[in-house]
Structures are given as C-alpha cells and as structure tokens.
C-alpha cells in the first residue's frame, strides 16, 4: 500500500515536498536585488565596478568599462550596438559579499535610456541613487526616482565625487528633499571636498574615515579614527575643516529627520552616504550598510493576494525580453525575476495569460555579455530563460497555481513617430512586426479615431527604442521602413470619461489616443500646452504611468 500511494504523488508535489524550507529561507534571506539609478556621468559605471571588485566578481579595475566599450561582433544585435557604440542589453550582475548574494540590475542610463530602464526597476527590491556632488539632482535622476517612488521601494543615496570641488552638503540635502520629495538621513558627513577633502565622519560611530588620496584598488581600508582621539585627528585634518564638518553634522542632527525604518522601507526617507567611487573611498562602508539595511526579496502582489518569497512553489514574472542575442539561433531571452520558491531546470509552470503549461529549461545567468547556466536559482534572483516566442512583458510563470502578478506599467513616452514603408506589399508584414515588437515592449503603440488601426502612432521613452524598432523590422521581418517624427513631447494617461475627454478636446485642441490595452491618453506638443491643459481642464487627472490609473 505504501508503495502504491507513493505513485499517487505527482512529480510537482514530490518536488515541492523535497524543497528544504530552511535552505530556501537562508538562500532567500541572503539575497539583495537592486539597481543603481543616476544621471549619465554621475559615476554609475565606476560605482558598479567598485562593488564588483569588492565582491570579487572582477579582479581588475577597468573591466566593466572595457566591457562597455569592447566591440563584440557575434550577433546582429551586437552589430547595432557596435554601430551606435552603445549597450542595448540590460543585464544583471551577480556577486557575493560576505554572506550576501547581490543581484545588481544594470539600468542603462545614457543615450540608450529607454523603457527597459524603467521596467528593470520593477525587478528591484531597492535602489541606489547616485548623485554627482557638484551637480546635485539632475533630470534623469528625477525620472528614475519617480519610478522607484511609485513602487515604494527603499532608496539609498550615494553622493559621489567628493574628491572634486562639491556643493555644500546641506544644500544638497535640501535639494534632494525639495526636488524629489524624500526625507534624508545622512549616515556620514563629508569633511570638505576637492583638494581639501579629508574624508567622512561616520555618524553612528562618530569616527573619521580618513581620505588618504587617490587609490583605486580594493585592498585599501580607510584609516578610521574615533572623533574623541582629537590629537590624532588634528594631525590629519585642519581645524577649520573639521569645525565646518562638525557644525554641518550638528545642524543635521538638530534640524534633520530622525531615522525611521518604516519610512525608509516605504521609500519616504533615504539614508545618505558620501564618497568618491573613483578613488574607492566610502564604497565599502556604503556596501556594508546597504546590505545590512536593505530588505531581502519581498512579497509581490497578485490577483490572488501577496505571494511570499518563501512559498515553496516557484513563481516569477518577465520584465524584459531581449531578442536576437544569438542570431544563429534567432533566440529570444526573457529575463525573469523570481518571486517565490526555487527554480530548477525541468520544472513545469503555467503561464496564466495563455492558460498553458510549459517546461522550463535551465536558467541562465548573464554577466555583461557572457552567460552561464545555473543549477538552481532562488526568490530574488534574476535569470534569463529561452523564450520560444511565447512570452510577453509582464507574464507570470507559476508552479502549482494560476495567479498573475500585478502588471508592469508603461511609462510616459517622450518620442513619437509614424512608420512607413515604400513597398505596399510589405504593409501586412509591417503591421505584424509592429504588433509583435510592441507586445515585446520595444515601443508603445497608440491609435486615435482619425487613424486606421494599421497605421498607429508609435511612442518611446528613449529615441534609441526607435532605432531598435527599425533595425528589427528590417532584420527579423524583412521590411525596410522610415519613421516620420511627430511633434509631440509629452503623453499622459487619464481616467476621464469619454464625455470629459470630448469636452477637453473641444476646449484645448489636445490630441487623445488609446494604448494597446484601450486606456486613454492625451498627447501634448510641449510643456506649455501641457500646463495650459492642466489649468484649463483641472477636473481631469493626468498620469505619467498607466499603473496609476
Ligand atoms: P556613468 O556610468 O554614470 O555615466 O559614469 P562613469 O562611471 O562612466 O563616470 C563618469 C566620469 O566620472 C568618468 O570620467 C569617471 O572616471 C568619473 N568619476 C566617477 N566617479 C568619480 C569620483 O568619485 N571622482 C572623480 N573625480 N571622478 C569620478 P571620464 O573622464 O568620463 O572617464 P574616464 O576616462 O575616467 O574613464
């Protein structure tokens, strides 16, 4: 009897019951999945490199930069990267530090800024906001910050480049608070900047981390001196600089916010660190505090309630699809954030959108352009899986259930165009390509009542997305096209009724369209028409993302 009942257990049940709960819990709890957000040139590549060096994932400074510019001639996709000298792929970098496993999501922040950058943040549990100490809060920081705020994830701030002449730190705190609307809690405080930079005072331990000058290796540990060792400190730091720094810190302690873990975890208060990534100063202290304070993989909302990371059932969602990574195989890789349980090759999962069960192959891990296969991956990890052409962005993959995670929002595009091909025979092929590429999230597609559905308005967060679209239409669908830009600058979603939309159009000449899900948006030509509309139609709410509808 015992033998026969054994056969009544399905392979799925067998797998789940064999999952060691303690192992799952310790694996999940030591994972940290995060992204760095910044404006170009604030030092994200440099910071990433220093984190990887600390984690032993690379051995030489300069490797990340070298990867960034190295010419890869292995695929058509790389060909586009080569032509443009950019990196199109968003990848994840893994490294271990002490007992932590870090999944650092790479969010391209340069000219290759695109919707992928936003979507990647859907897979992060925390963000590091990197700010150039001389420039403060810059436009791209604001955009990315808003996405993190929408998600309510904890945001750490690292004020970088203190070895250069910087702005007054109090001024910077004020700017972060007023422009971004987040409270700050300095964890350290700089002792001057530029030529006179002498280090940072760690607030918790009231000690000076002395800046000895340029050093780009990992081995250097800053000399740490308690503030009470006055003699030792005065031998290293001129008195006026120390007094200035301590006055600033007093001010922060008197007038600044108190630390609150609840506010921090909700993304309402940001712990702030100072340093100089290039000289590897302040990075280790930052990383250690970051790992200690940042949350382990969190539960995620679904249509059946929150899904806990420690549930033994595997589940995850797809936040990015990268096509054509290897043209010999025409493969597409879907990037999956694991929300719960353990991923092993061969597990069967349901895609609730298609009501279809598939068997997953071995997960792949990517490091810049390199890939390797993994035996197991846990909640919190980000892995790539082969996409036989069935996934779309936002798809949930669920073992032993059929729930769907909250969707991945679309964000307000700033580039608009229509596409045309000279060959009438290719029109059908073009439309098929457009629909598929839009489903994949390459660009967004809008229609209005004045246009045929087959002649949509295409919209993108970054103009690179259009280059990728044209490239892929030619290479994968064999359609040569050109784009005609449209003179719109902003798009905003609205939940207004059709009567309200009609009234608004009559009053302001605004253009209204619908996205692929049928949600309404307004398109504006410039900042002025947007603010005029807001004034004139103040009963209508506008949203930068469809997740707020
Ligand atoms: P990004 O990825 O955010 O665009 O920035 P990246 O790290 O490429 O850094 C932009 C520039 O700022 C680089 O200089 C880099 O060396 C410099 N930088 C980064 N961190 C610091 C810092 O802590 N102090 C100082 N002084 N500079 C820093 P570059 O001249 O553009 O490139 P490179 O020739 O140094 O590689």
290-333: pLDDT as tens digits = 999 999 999 999 999 999 999 989 999 999 887 655 555 556 78
Give 178 Cα–ligand 1 centroid separation in angstroms: 27
- Measured in Å, how far apart are the chain's first and last C-alpha atoms? 56
Distance CA 243, CA 230 (A): 12
In Å, what is the CA distance from 42 to each residue of 139, 160, 162, 214, 390?
12, 7, 12, 18, 38
Give 69 Cα–ligand 1 centroid separation in angstroms: 14
CA angle 300, 303, 307 (to 5 degrees): 30
Give 322 Cα–ligand 1 centroid separation in angstroms: 28
Q: What pLDDT is stored for residue 402 in this prediction? A: 87
Cα 148 to chain centroid distance, Å, stands at 8
Q: Whose CA is nearest to atom 31 of ligand 1?
A: 41
Q: Say what angle helices 527-536 and 498-508 make with each other, to 10 degrees.
A: 120
DSSP category for residue 57: S
Could you identify the atom of ligand 1 that is nearest to the CA of residue 279?
23
Could you identify the atom of ligand 1 that is nearest to the CA of residue 276?
23
Q: Whose CA is nearest to atom 17 of ligand 1?
A: 43
Dihedral sign, Cα of residue 346, residue 104, residue 324, residue 67: negative
Partners of 307 in beta bridges: 300
Residue 235 pLDDT greater than 60, yes or no: yes
Q: What pLDDT is stored for residue 181 in this prediction? A: 97
pLDDT band at 73 (very low <50, low <70, confident <90, very high): very low
Give 366 Cα–ligand 1 centroid separation in angstroms: 24
Residue found by looking up tokens 């081995």 in the block = 219
Query: Residue 306 burial (CB < 10 Å; 0-12/13-18/19+)?
Result: exposed
Residue 378 pLDDT greater than 70, yes or no: yes
Could you identify the atom of ligand 1 that is nearest to the CA of residue 164?
26
Ligand 1 environment, Cβ below 6 A: 38, 40-46, 65, 160-161, 163-164, 276-279
Can you tell me whether residue 279 is helix, strand or coil? helix
Question: What is the pLDDT averaged over residues 191-196?
Answer: 95
Distance CA 397, CA 391 (A): 10
Residue 61 pLDDT greater than 60, yes or no: no
Helices and strands, number each (H, E), in the chain: 17, 31
**Top mutation candidate among 36, 40, 41, 190 for ligand 1, by most atoms within 8 Å of CB:** 41
Element (H, E) at 170: helix 169-175
pTM of the model: 0.87
Question: What is the pLDDT averaged over residues 13-36?
Answer: 87
Q: Beta strand pairing status for 126-132 and 155-160?
A: parallel
Write out pLDDT tens, residues 525-541.
Answer: 999 999 999 999 999 99
Give 278 Cα–ligand 1 centroid separation in angstroms: 7
**Top mutation candidate among 104, 128, 129, 278 for ligand 1, by most atoms within 8 Å of CB:** 278
Could you identify the atom of ligand 1 that is nearest to the CA of residue 38?
3
Which residues have C-beta within 8 Å of that of residue 463, sequence separation ≥ 6? Answer: 415
Which residues have C-beta within 8 Å of that of residue 447, sequence separation ≥ 6? Answer: 453, 456, 457, 513, 514
Q: Whose CA is nearest to atom 32 of ligand 1?
A: 41
Q: What pLDDT is stored for residue 464 in this prediction? A: 81
Average pLDDT taken over every residue of the chain = 86
Q: Whose CA is nearest to atom 16 of ligand 1?
A: 278
Distance CA 404, CA 224 (A): 50
Q: What pLDDT is stored for residue 321 in this prediction? A: 82
Distance CA 189, CA 205 (A): 12
Joined together, the tokens standing for residue 23 give 């192992």
| ipTM confidence score | 0.98
Give 149 Cα–ligand 1 centroid separation in angstroms: 27
Q: Whose CA is nearest to atom 24 of ligand 1?
A: 161
Residue 86 pLDDT greater than 60, yes or no: no
Q: What is the DSSP string of 206-238?
A: TEEEE--S---SS----EEEETT-HHHHHHHS-
Query: Residue 443 burial (CB < 10 Å; 0-12/13-18/19+)?
Result: buried
**Top mutation candidate among 43, 140, 158 for ligand 1, by most atoms within 8 Å of CB:** 43
Nearest to 330 by CA among 56, 77, 60: 77
Give 216 Cα–ligand 1 centroid separation in angstroms: 12
Q: What pLDDT is stored for residue 12 in this prediction? A: 67
Q: What pLDDT is stored for residue 234 in this prediction? A: 94
pLDDT band at 83 (very low <50, low <70, confident <90, very high): low
Q: What pLDDT is stored for residue 111 in this prediction? A: 54
Q: What pLDDT is stored for residue 194 in this prediction? A: 95
Q: 283, 277 in Cβ contact below 8 A? A: yes
Q: What is the DSSP string of 393-430?
A: TT-EEESSS---BPPPPPB---EEEEEE-S-GGGHHHH
Residue 55 pLDDT greater than 80, yes or no: yes
Give 118 Cα–ligand 1 centroid separation in angstroms: 23
Give 221 Cα–ligand 1 centroid separation in angstroms: 21
Q: Whose CA is nearest to atom 11 of ligand 1?
A: 41
Give 228 Cα–ligand 1 centroid separation in angstroms: 35
Q: What pLDDT is stored for residue 367 in this prediction? A: 57
Half-sphere exposure at residue 453, Cβ-oriented, CA atoms within 13 angstroms: 5
Give 45 Cα–ligand 1 centroid separation in angstroms: 8
Q: What pLDDT is stored for residue 124 in this prediction? A: 96
Joined together, the tokens standing for residue 336 give 């999956």
Query: Residue 56 burial (CB < 10 Å; 0-12/13-18/19+)?
Result: exposed
Q: Whose CA is nearest to atom 29 of ligand 1?
A: 41
Residue 271 pLDDT greater than 90, yes or no: yes
Q: What pLDDT is stored for residue 3 in this prediction? A: 43
Give 254 Cα–ligand 1 centroid separation in angstroms: 34
Q: 245, 191 in Cβ contact below 8 A? A: yes
Q: What pLDDT is stored for residue 79 in this prediction? A: 56
Can you tell me whether residue 368 is helix, strand or coil? coil
Could you identify the atom of ligand 1 that is nearest to the CA of residue 40?
4
Q: 374, 362 in Cβ contact below 8 A? A: yes
Distance CA 202, CA 190 (A): 9
pLDDT band at 60 (very low <50, low <70, confident <90, very high): low
Distance CA 335, CA 110 (A): 21
């Amino acid at each position: 009897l015992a033998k026969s009942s054994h056969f009544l257990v399905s392979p799925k049940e067998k797998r789940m019951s064999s999952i060691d709960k303690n192992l799952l819990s310790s694996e999940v709890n030591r994972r940290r999945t995060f992204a760095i957000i910044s404006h170009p040139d604030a030092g994200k590549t440099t910071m990433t490199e220093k984190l990887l060096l600390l984690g032993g994932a690379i051995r030489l400074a300069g490797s990340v930069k070298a990867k960034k510019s190295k010419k890869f001639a292995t695929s058509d996709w790389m060909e586009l990267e080569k032509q443009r000298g950019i990196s199109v792929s968003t990848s994840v970098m893994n490294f271990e530090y002490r007992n932590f496993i870090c999944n650092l999501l790479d969010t391209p922040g340069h000219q290759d800024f695109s919707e992928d950058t936003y979507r990647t943040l859907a897979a992060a549990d925390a963000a590091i906001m990197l700010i150039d100490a001389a420039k403060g809060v810059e436009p791209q920081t604001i955009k990315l910050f808003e996405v993190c705020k929408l998600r309510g994830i904890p945001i750490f701030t690292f004020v970088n480049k203190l070895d250069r002449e910087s702005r007054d730190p109090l001024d910077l705190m004020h700017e972060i608070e007023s422009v971004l609307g987040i409270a700050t809690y300095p964890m350290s405080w700089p002792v001057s900047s530029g030529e006179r930079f002498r280090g940072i005072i760690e607030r918790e331990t009231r000690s000076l981390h002395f800046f000895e000058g340029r050093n780009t290796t990992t081995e250097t540990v800053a000399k740490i001196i308690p503030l009470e060792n006055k003699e030792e400190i005065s031998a290293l730091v001129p008195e006026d600089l120390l007094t200035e720094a301590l006055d600033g810190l007093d001010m922060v302690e008197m007038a600044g916010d108190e630390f609150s873990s609840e506010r921090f975890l909700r993304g309402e208060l940001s712990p702030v660190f100072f340093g100089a990534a290039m000289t590897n100063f302040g990075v280790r202290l930052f990383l250690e505090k970051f790992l200690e304070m940042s949350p382990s993989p969190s539960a995620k909302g679904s249509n059946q309630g929150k899904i806990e990371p420690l549930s033994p059932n595997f589940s995850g969602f797809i936040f990015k699809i990268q096509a054509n990574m290897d043209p010999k195989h025409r493969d597409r890789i879907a990037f999956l954030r694991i929300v719960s349980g353990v991923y092993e090759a061969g597990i069967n999962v349901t895609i609730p959108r298609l009501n279809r069960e598939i068997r997953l192959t071995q997960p792949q891990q990517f490091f810049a352009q390199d890939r390797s296969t993994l035996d197991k991956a846990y909640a919190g990890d980000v892995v790539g899986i082969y996409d036989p052409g069935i996934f779309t962005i936002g798809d949930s993959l669920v073992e032993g259930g059929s729930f769907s995670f909250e969707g991945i929002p679309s964000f307000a595009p700033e580039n608009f165009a229509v596409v045309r091909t000279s060959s009438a025979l290719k029109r059908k092929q073009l439309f098929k390509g457009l629909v598929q590429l839009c489903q994949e999230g390459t660009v967004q597609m809008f229609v209005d009542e004045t246009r045929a559905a087959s002649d949509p308005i295409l919209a993108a967060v970054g103009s690179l997305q259009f280059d990728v679209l044209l490239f892929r239409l030619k290479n994968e669908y064999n359609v040569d096209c050109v784009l005609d830009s449209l003179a719109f600058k902003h798009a905003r979603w609205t939940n207004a009724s059709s009567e309200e939309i009609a009234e608004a159009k009559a009053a302001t000449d605004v253009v209204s369209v619908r996205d692929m899900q049928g949600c309404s948006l307004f398109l504006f030509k410039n900042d002025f028409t947007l603010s005029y509309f807001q004034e004139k139609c103040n009963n209508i709410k506008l949203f930068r993302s469809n997740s707020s509808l």
